[in-house]
Amino acid sequence: MTSLAFAMPAEIVDPSVVAPPGDLYSNEPPMESYQHLVQMILLLESLELFWKERTDFFAAGNLTIYFSPRQLKSESFRGPDFFVVLGTERRPRKSWVVWEEDGRYPNVIVEVLSASTEDKDRGIKKQVYQDVFRTPDYFWFHPETLELSGFHLVDGQYEPLTPDASGRLWSAQLELFLGVEEGQLRFFTPKGELVPAGKELAQRAEAAEQRARRLAEKLRELGVDPETLK
């Protein structure tokens, strides 16, 4: 699902592949399962809505990050299931090209585990995110076992995060909790409130409208015109 390529330095480099344009297309295969797809969209949609007024971040899922020191598109690339970069311009991108983004790497990465990828997520990918990306907050979540683990970078090493009383993990970068709700990984505010996605916002709006209609009907039964109360 994700890709990583490291190449030994070559004595002769084809100039046609050096310093490629910054709008490189993503090189990631399709999401591994429907669960992975739903989970990625849920995280992305809810954060985008929660931060709808902000213009200083970029969030993406299953998008290639190119980070070759030699600025080669053929080496050193990876595509996390979900990542967030802070302190950057909020605009669409075909991929994340580190050398075109002032050297910025993700501040937060989330990997969704599966039987075929969990060894890499726990091993080589964790090592790369720690030693190369220096990503402050790294999480992984298993949609089948509901395992949630998180790590924060301390003096260059990942230290495990301790869950709160609700089993949620704090992301200092996002200033949000990550926790499991109805079998899915979700964001929660510092007060523990669920960060809603679009469908949930629509449901809340519909519920509020229904309550308003019931209140209006009750007022009319009491001989009060609700229009006069506006």
pLDDT digits (tens, 9 = 90+) for 132-145: 999 999 999 999 99
Alpha carbons 18 and 99: distance in angstroms, whole number: 12
**Residue 215: inside a domain:** yes
Q: Does pLDDT of 15 surpass 90?
A: no
Overall pTM surpassing 0.95 (yes/no): no
Q: Tell whether 115 and 225 lie within a shared domain.
A: no
pLDDT at 184 over 60: yes
Note whether 147 and 228 are same-domain residues: no
Residues 148 and 201 in one domain: no
User: Rounded to an integer, what distance in angstroms lies between the CA atom of residue 10 and that of residue 17?
Assistant: 12
CATH number at residue 145: 3.90.1570.10
What mean pLDDT is predicted for residues 85-101?
96
Q: Does 207 lie in the same domain as 180?
A: no
- Number of structural domains (the chain) is 2
| Nearest CA-CA partner of 82 in 52, 46, 112 | 112
Q: Can you give the residue range of the structural domain that contains 218?
A: 197-230
Cα–Cα dist 223/16, whole Å: 80
Residue 141 near residue 112, CB atoms below 8 Å: yes
